[in-house]
Structure 1
Amino acid sequence: MSLTQHKQTAERLILALLILALAAALWMLRDVVITAFAAVLVAVLLREITDLLHTRLRMPPGVALAGAVIIAFSVPIGAAWLFGREVSVQSTLIAQAIPGAIDRLGQLLDPIGIGDAFRHAVQNLLDPAMIANRVGGIASSSIGVILHLLLVIFGSIYFAAQPRLYRTGLVKLVPPKGRELAGAALDTVGVALRRWLLGQLAAMALVGLLTGVGLLLLGSPSALTLGVLAAALEFIPYLGPILSAVPAIAVALVHSPQQAVWVAGLYLLVQQAENHLIQPLIQQRAVDIPPALLLFGVVAMGTLFGAAGVVLAAPLAVVFYVLVKQLWVREALHTPTPLPSED
């Protein structure tokens, strides 16, 4: 083997070791990585509002960014101020209704012989000692959650203020011959995330509105709170709609099994409308991720990153899907495939 071949082998070995070291470091810092990604996602929204204010209202870039920050963070604060008390009261009513719903469901299960087993399982789940342990764990981690939220807020502002700076920095980490492709891939991911996020926010608003109005028409208590919950959990694919339906059905079950059936039917109808009408219309220019890929993406992200991974599974899947299409399918396999930045 010649000296040149030895040198090439050594360079490849060093590169492989560096990649493994980077992967290990990212795994050890996975909490920071997922927090940084959340900040990037919020920055995408801030940048969209900033560009809108800058182009439509002719605001200077710095003023437009300040306006975007005020708008983005004042909307949830304003909603909490307007509806917070009502939501708090309705949440209390929901919590009070759950024991009655459990008892009613146990009675319905008695004829088939599993009512006692159901009650026993729920009693173990709601055991005061277990609840105290969970509350203690939540309290001990609350400071960490607050710190991560602050990191997301301030990180998103920094990312939105100078997106080109961070894009250039990432591109420079790539060898010179691959920098043009890396820059194009980052731009494509940016377009995909922006379209997906705007579409998802619109879908969440429509689902929350349809659910709240439907529950109100059915005479279900706490319609406002349950509508807000449905909108918020719509961000989580597959699991979110199920989690939002459980308290609504439990509250309805206190009144009658028939009411619970109507409420369950409403949630099913809203989800069918969301799957076959709302999402296709809103996300038609975004990334069309295959359902099975998104489903297992939720499982994978939950396994890797815990609850935060489940919440951010959909946008993470968007990033991975776009990168695979551009870097592997198109560039490595030379197979034509559409990208969000090209339509």
Structure 2
Amino acid sequence: MAPSQDLVPFTRKVLIVLALVVVLVLAWALLPVFMLVFGAIVVAALFLSLSHLLQRFTPLGDGAALAVVLVVLSSGFGLLLWLFGAQVSGELSALTEALPGAYAQFEQWLDGTSLGGLVSEQLDTLRDSMGRIASSAGAIAITVSGGLVDLFLVLIGAIYIAAQPQMYRNGLLLLVPGSVRKTAGEAMEASGRALRMWLGGQLVAMLLVGLLTGLGLWLLGVPAAFALALIAFLLDFVPIVGPIVAAIPGILLGFTVSPQIGLATAAMYLVIQQIEGNLLQPLIQQRAVELPPAVLLFSLVIFGSLQGTVGLLLAAPLTVVLYVLVKRLYVREVLGTDVQVPGEAG
């Protein structure tokens, strides 16, 4: 008996819905893998940016330039580790041991001010949270070990992607219908260009923040200035949240010297962030992509909630890529509104 003509469209729609559900479930299950892949893409973009910069001043080809960049980066990292590894390790150990006492001194000073009663409950909550973290040291060690394995995979994947970027780009485009393949390729080029420009500008900002932080802490006489500067440099990769987290241990250690030094340390962190926010970041956004602060903030919340620390680390570059893709594929192609994208003439 032949199926009813009304059942055929209905069955097709049901199958399409089921297929979409299966794809969404698989995408959710594989989200950690996708984040690692994107992390490899970000690192590969950094390698390619340095390779292109080297090629401006040398006649090296793509492969040779990439090889030189990898050798220089690995050698430079090894040299820094040899020169300052013991110092950083010692200061980080001293920092870990000094923070509980620094927190107690800060709490004691705060109790003697008019703000003590207002924030004592929040400080108790923070202290309880720190206690739970300390009691989970074994779980943290396992997480760190897994993070090192993920980092190794990201670095190896980044090298492969940077060695043959066009092959992976063309492979992705083969998954796109031919009618929109050209548009998709242009959008990928624009997002990749924006990502490379953002990474370059962000790296400069991180270096300046780390240098200013280390110099300021050294002048103020705050202990473990080198380690705190390194923390400020690394955490500055995460916009908004990273600088706040990096400032907390520096301010607490400042209070171990004196309340005046603690307040001066807080003021120093605030001034540095004002310099970055009002001078460095506008220059970065001018060359890369101007992200609305609210978009960046909510992207940190969303990706941090979905993927934890990895989501926080990759939220900003992922937002840069998605923002440019939306501009190119939706605002320009669907709505028909012309938009300015990084690296293109207005």
- TM-score computed with the length of structure 1 as normaliser: 0.90
2:247 to 245, 248, 251: 245
Give SS of 1:283's match: helix
Match of 2:105 in 1: 104
How far off its partner does 1:113 sit?
Answer: 4.8
Deviations 1:203-232 (A, max 9, x none): 000111111111122222222111111111
Match of 2:294 in 1: 292
CA-based RMSD: 2.6
Measure the CA separation in 2 of the matches of 1:233 and 1:303. Answer: 18
Moved more, 110-119 or 245-254: 110-119
The 1:235/1:116 distance shift into structure 2, 3 A limit, reads: closer
Moved more, 174-183 or 108-117: 108-117
Check if 1:230 corresponds to 2:238: no
How far off its partner does 1:259 sit?
Answer: 0.7
Give SS of 1:287's match: coil
How far off its partner does 1:285 sit?
Answer: 1.2
Give SS of 1:306's match: helix
Match of 1:169 in 2: 171
The 1:294/1:4 distance shift into structure 2, 3 A limit, reads: farther
Matches within 5 A, 1:66-81: 66-81=67-82
CA contact (8 A) 1:107 1:115 kept: no
The 1:25/1:74 distance shift into structure 2, 3 A limit, reads: farther
Give SS of 1:339's match: coil
Match of 1:336 in 2: 338
How far off its partner does 1:80 sit?
Answer: 2.2
Deviations 1:77-96 (A, max 9, x none): 33222211111222233223
2:212 to 210, 213, 217: 210
Deviations 1:295-316 (A, max 9, x none): 0110011111111001111001
Runs of 5+ consecutive residues of structure 2 not aligned to the other structure: none
How far off its partner does 1:100 sit?
Answer: 2.4
Check if 1:308 corresponds to 2:310: yes
Matches within 5 A, 1:241-280: 241-280=243-282
Moved more, 59-68 or 168-177: 59-68
Match of 2:221 in 1: 219
The 1:15/1:260 distance shift into structure 2, 3 A limit, reads: same
Deviations 1:121-148 (A, max 9, x none): 5664454x8624x221123334422321
CA contact (8 A) 2:43 2:158 kept: yes
The 1:196/1:227 distance shift into structure 2, 3 A limit, reads: same
Runs of 5+ consecutive residues of structure 1 not aligned to the other structure: none
CA contact (8 A) 2:287 2:343 kept: no
Count of matched residue pairs: 339
1:180 to 179, 182, 200: 182
The 1:20/1:104 distance shift into structure 2, 3 A limit, reads: same
Match of 1:322 in 2: 324
Measure the CA separation in 2 of the matches of 1:163 and 1:12. Answer: 38
Give SS of 2:138's match: helix
Match of 1:52 in 2: 53
**Paired letter, 1:230:** A
Give SS of 1:235's match: coil
Match of 2:38 in 1: 37
- TM-score computed with the length of structure 2 as normaliser: 0.89
The 1:19/1:78 distance shift into structure 2, 3 A limit, reads: farther
